[in-house]
Structure 1
Amino acid sequence: MNVEEPAPSEQVKSLAVRAMEIMSNGSRADFDSVVHTGAVNRESMSEPPRTRGRGPDAFYASAVWLRAAFTELRFDVEHVVVEGDLAVVYTIMKGRHVGPFVVYDEQGSIDQVFAPTGRSFAVKQSHWLRVEDGRVIEHWATRDDLGQAVQLGWVPPTPLSMVRNAWAKRAARRNPSH
């Protein structure tokens, strides 16, 4: 019996969907199987310094960073379009803000911290994933960060949220665990 290999576009599509899934629930080993050793995340400039490297370690660090701030995190895949080695994944990112969300500047220093609000959110995102040798080698995205900020109560800031965020930033600077 001759088993046919999936078409290359189906392989790229499947890998792209799996790459989104593991951000919310994947183990470190899952990242090894999905992310190329030379992979780069073009969105990591506001993330912790350890996310700015290459390969599975950096991608897994991004997942850990997101999971520290958001429980019930998931990426509901709405559409996937594949052209050659490039997949575009249209998702709805969902979660609940239960931990400090720490944003970094280009030098890797803590820039802003949003104290936990306990609120849930659902925002549209498009993730662009380039594949090489059967693994994701490049990622970049367009996200509705303002929509997320409004849903989580970060925008517009209130006097109370500004105080809470300042205390959270102070705590994060004393204990940089991300």
Structure 2
Amino acid sequence: MSKNKSVVRRFNHEVIENLDMVAFSDLVSPEFINHSAPLGVSKGPDGFAAFFTNVLHQAFTDIKVLIHDQLEENDKVATRKTIEGTHSGPFFGHAKTGKRIFIQVTDIVHVKDGKYIEHWGSADIYGAIAQISKP
């Protein structure tokens, strides 16, 4: 496995699964740009970190990331993965349900010198909300 793919795997397991913000600081450049940040959210490391601390880990517990595929070209790593967790807090206006929710994600990370410097991503939030809303 390439060094850049290992960096992305480490981020997924240490930051997304375990909310290790020391690892976040180790893996994300201060010059980082999140090209997928929603309107009104900082495109820098602070906005990226806020998603994990204020959204994902507030809404879900027991988070696991299953990486299905990784492809690399020109220091960019594309990853297709599933983020799963128990819906234990508010998520985009939906109160906790206790259900196990699966979010399909595809992202591309530009890695330079072992750090994230750019990110583009697409997460199936509507699919997650449909799982939450289903009786």
The TM-score with structure 2 as length reference comes to 0.86
- Give ranges in structure 1 of 5+ residues lacking alignment: 1-8, 103-112, 159-178
Q: What is the DSSP-based 3-state SS (H/G/I as helix, E as strand, rest coil) of the residue aligned with 2:110?
A: strand
Residue matched to 1:18:
10
Tell me which amino acid in the other structure corresponds to 1:141: G
The CA deviation string for residues 120-143 of structure 1, in whole angstroms up to 9 with x for no partner, is 111321111111232001112122
Q: What is the DSSP-based 3-state SS (H/G/I as helix, E as strand, rest coil) of the residue aligned with 2:2?
A: helix
The CA deviation string for residues 40-78 of structure 1, in whole angstroms up to 9 with x for no partner, is 2223316xx6x62522x3332221121001111121111
Residue matched to 1:143:
123
Q: What is the DSSP-based 3-state SS (H/G/I as helix, E as strand, rest coil) of the residue aligned with 1:58?
A: helix
Aligned partners of 2:35 and 2:43 also within 8 Å: no
Residue matched to 1:91:
81
Aligned partners of 2:37 and 2:48 also within 8 Å: no
Q: How many residues matched?
A: 133
Could you say if the C-alpha distance between residues 38 and 12 of structure 1 is closer, same or farther in structure 2, counting changes exceeding 3 Å? same
Match of 2:97 among 117, 131, 143: 117
2-structure distance, mates of 1:32, 1:79: 25
Q: Does 1:68 align with 2:48?
A: no
Aligned partners of 1:17 and 1:89 also within 8 Å: no
Overall identity of the aligned pairs, in %: 26
Q: What is the DSSP-based 3-state SS (H/G/I as helix, E as strand, rest coil) of the residue aligned with 1:17?
A: helix
2-structure distance, mates of 1:61, 1:70: 14
Aligned partners of 1:24 and 1:74 also within 8 Å: yes
CA drift at 1:26: 3.3
Name the one with the larger strand percent: 2
Name the one with the larger helix percent: 1
RMSD: 2.1
- Give ranges in structure 2 of 5+ residues lacking alignment: none
Residue matched to 2:25:
32
Larger Rg: 1
2-structure distance, mates of 1:43, 1:148: 18
